[in-house]
Structure 1
Amino acid sequence: MDLNTVEAVVTPRRRDEVWPLGPDDAVLAGGTWLFSAPQPHLRRLVDVTGLGWPSITVSNNEIELSATCTLTELSALSTQLTRSRTDWPAAPLFHQCCTALLASYKIWSTATVGGNICLSFPAGAMISLTSALDGELVVWRPDGGDYRLPVTDFVTGSSANVLDLGDVLRSVHLPASALRARTAYRKIAPSPLGRSGVVVIGRRDAAEDGGRFVLSVTAATVRPFVFEFASVPSSAELVEARDTIPDDAWTDDAHGDPDWRRAMTLLLAEQVRAELS
């Protein structure tokens, strides 16, 4: 869609060229959502792809994903890590979470990790991925500083997050301790290719990392919920965890009502528990 109110598109090459950012400006990375709907309030786009951030940086301690990393690049990481890092059994989760996004391969080639997180939709597939793997975000401030916080604290509600005017998401950091874990992924939607109604991901940490069992719930809720257990939980413990989610935190839209999402969350959580037992 043409954004006929936009008067300028700028492409900064250095960090200090990103600002100032005002209410009439939008940060552009992939733009797959930005160009999908009218944006009559916008006058300027700031294209951060010109900053040249490496899409993926792998070290022994973590994986860093730039905010401009595309879903195509992220999906391919599953295959690459399966060959190069056999000690990271969580590798398939990158591709699995990409498939949770309702999008064609053309969108995958353009849509970005950062854009998906910053939109903060309940069905945000990158929110599912990063919350399950203890992801932390680095955000640039307009004053030249930055701050770091868990993705579970970043998203505060449906299409809501902690970003202030002028803040720019720079990167996502996934620790090796989470990548060494076994994972189990479950998604359900009203139709085979429909938007995710419930996404439940389980993670069982390696003994060297404490052996925790971590369960994340996204899409079913307006923000991510992550539950930690010292070991594999019982069925009763899963019910107890599910019941701590407030009534007003369950997503209520055309893709599923809250009662259905509550029930399916428990069903998928049981499947995940059984797979990781």
Structure 2
Amino acid sequence: MDLDIDTVRIARTRADCVLRPGEAFLGGGTSLYSEPVPAGVTGLVDLTGLGWEPWSVDGSGLRVSATCTLAELEVGPGSLGGAGTLRGPASAGPYRALGIVRECVGALSLSAKVARVATVGGNLALALPAGSMIGLFAALDARAVVWTPDGGSREVAVADLVTGAGVVALAPGEVLREVRVPGPVLGQRTVFRRASLTPTGRTAAMVTGRESKRGPRIVVTGSVSAPHALYAHDHDMLDRWLDWVGSDVGWYEDTHGSVAWRAAMTRRLAHEALEELGGAA
């Protein structure tokens, strides 16, 4: 496929991540085969050459590099949390929050070939409403580590990283380095719900959540242009919040779902998630 670019540089060190005029960063690159190269981009800087460890977990929490592929995430951290969402009484464990990893990867409906190339960072940086890595890491209260062009770094909550459809809180020249999930979160129960117009269709509404000391955390993605989260103590509170999302934020609409259908499905899935997490009636 002709990508209509002039150069591709493979970054080996952080110094290689200083962009030259017309350059943009490249993660897995799978999106380049479905969308035109952005206007003005004449060169790419391939971050996979930096050799970042895909993921690691210890007492401080889980760290997932931006270049970790979705396949590596699924068979790595995904296996630590068991197979699929934990339903009903769950056995205690240090990583049970990761039980939704495989379902979030599966929500992208990727072929095995694409999953071996597509990256966590690419999914987050594309900021598509259907990007399930957004809902996954927002539910896990993860923070994104961002390299700044001056050699420093900063952190931003994943829930705040995506600010709109295709819009992220990254300044020109900044690199998404990794996401970090706090250690205490890893032992908390999580929940996953998803709806699409067809069994293998693009996600039109997704709800992720987890238990916490502040109450059940409910995260809505897919049906909105950016993630929205609430610590919902009961179903009435959840309904009032969803009313606010619909009136003040607005539901996302495209060929994968109308506003009315997405609103109804999101409400149903959110209440199911809250019920599973033990929210008050």
Report the TM-score when normalising by structure 1: 0.91
Which amino acid counterpart does residue 7 of structure 1 have in structure 2? D
User: What does residue range 120-269 of structure 1 map to in structure 2 within 5 Å?
Assistant: 120-205=127-212, 210=213, 212-229=215-232, 233-247=233-247, 248-269=249-270
* Secondary structure of 1:116's aligned partner: helix
User: 2:34 — aligned with what?
Assistant: 36
3-state SS of 1:244 partner: helix
Range 31-40 or range 99-108, more displaced: 31-40
Aligned length: 267
Q: Displacement, 1:20?
A: 2.6
Q: Deviations over 1:92-115 (max 9, x none)?
A: 111110011132111110000000
The verdict on how the C-alpha distance between 1:21 and 1:81 changes in structure 2, with shifts beyond 3 A counting, is farther
Q: Counterpart of 2:79?
A: 79
Look up the equivalent residue of 1:256 and give its one-letter code. G
Question: 2:80 touches 2:95 (CA, 8 Å); kept in 1?
Answer: no
CA separation in 2, counterparts of 1:2 and 1:175?
Answer: 42
Give the one of 113, 119, 129 matched to 2:120. Answer: 113
Residues 27 and 273 of structure 1: CA distance in aligned 2, closer, same or farther (over 3 Å): same
Residue 135 of structure 1 aligns with an amino acid whose one-letter code is: A
1:2/1:35 contact within 8 Å kept: no
Please tell me whether the aligned partners of residues 148 and 173 of structure 2 are also in contact (alpha carbons under 8 angstroms). Answer: yes
User: Is the 1:21–1:165 Cα contact (8 Å) retained in structure 2?
Assistant: no
Unaligned runs of 5+ in 1: none
Runs of 4+ residues deviating >4 angstroms: none
- 1:27 aligned residue: 25
User: 1:97 aligned to 77, 101, 104, which one?
Assistant: 104
CA distance in 2, matches of 1:267, 1:166: 41
SS of residue matched to 2:244: coil
Q: Which amino acid aligns with 1:27?
A: F
CA distance in 1, matches of 2:20, 2:66: 17
Deviations 1:165-199 (A, max 9, x none): 11111000111222111111100000000000100
3-state SS, counterpart of residue 256 of structure 2: coil
Describe the superposition over 1:119-150 as per-residue Cα deviations: whole angstroms up to 9, x where unpaired: 00111111010111001101111111111010
CA–CA separation in structure 2 for the residues paired with 1:218 and 1:10: 34
Aligned amino acid, residue 238 of structure 1: L
Inter-CA distance 2–12: structure 2 relative to 1 (3 Å threshold):
same
Cα distance, 1:42 vs structure 2: 2.4
Q: Aligned equivalents of 1:6 and 1:221: distance in 2?
A: 33
**1:6 maps onto 2:13 in alignment:** no
Residue 87 of structure 1: how far off its partner (Å): 2.2
- Following superposition, the deviation at residue 211 of structure 1 comes to 5.6
**1:21, distance to aligned residue in structure 2 (A):** 4.0
- Tell me how far apart the structure 2 counterparts of residues 275 and 257 of structure 1 sit (CA, whole Å): 27
Overall identity of the aligned pairs, in %: 37
User: Partner of 2:273 in structure 1?
Assistant: 272
Normalising to structure 2: TM-score of the pair? 0.90
Q: Whole-Å Cα distance in 2 between the matches of residues 235 and 228 of structure 1?
A: 11
Tell me by how many angstroms 1:6 deviates. Answer: 1.3
Q: Secondary structure at the match of 1:69?
A: coil
SS where residue 243 of structure 1 aligns?
Answer: helix
Contact 2:93 2:187 (8 Å CA) reproduced: no
Q: Distance in 2 between matches of 1:236 and 1:137?
A: 32
RMSD over aligned CA atoms reads 1.7
